[in-house]
Amino acid sequence: MAPTATGRYYLPAGLPAPVAEPDGLDRPYWDGTRRSELWVQRCNRCRTWQWGPEWICHACLVSDVGWTRVDGRGVIYSWERAWHPVHPALKGHGPYIVVLVELPHAGGIRMLGNLLGDPQQVVTIGAPVEAVFEAHDDAKTPFTLVQWVCEPQDAAGLGPRRPRRAI
């Protein structure tokens, strides 16, 4: 787990906890996060990537939508820095950063998360980021959030190093 502004978790405890949908549609995603793995949908027939999950492929309309493990690397597509606490758990906390991350190697699907590190950092659209897994093992129903950190640039400025293994 990368160091965060507030210690163990990026945001204070007490925000609504995620649970898989009762119909099981997104269960492979949430189960994957518990193993520190990123799983998304990809159509078994036409190979179209799909996120968020749906029951059928939006491109070829078959129900044979498979799940694929993807590498947790992407680029910042957009971002926001939230200041006003809209939930009691956020009172006295903040600001914090939410990023929308594009996964170019997975059909350009996008994933959300917090950008870990200094909440006042300069955020650059297009900057490379990698996924880390924030396990909330002490929650009533344990869950894991996918979070994002900026990929470190090497000293020679030759671009991002190979991503660290997510923990």
Min dist CB 87 to other proteins, Å, is: 4
Assess whether the previous peptide bond of 53 is cis (omega < 30° from 0): no
Nearest to 114 by CA among 94, 87, 142: 94
- Residue 161 dihedral angles phi and psi, to the nearest 5°: -70, 170
Min dist CB 161 to other proteins, Å, is: 26
Binding stretches for other proteins (CB under 8 A): 11, 15-22, 26, 30, 51-53, 58, 77-84, 86-88, 90, 95-96, 98, 100, 109-114, 125, 140-141, 143, 145
Give 94 or 163: the residue with its C-beta nearer to other proteins.
94
For β-strands 143-150 and 128-136, DSSP reports them as antiparallel
Min dist CB 97 to other proteins, Å, is: 9
Min dist CB 141 to other proteins, Å, is: 7
Give 59 or 153: the residue with its C-beta nearer to other proteins.
59
Q: Are 96 and 82 in contact (CB under 8 A)?
A: yes
Q: CA 16 to CA 105: how far, in whole Å?
A: 31
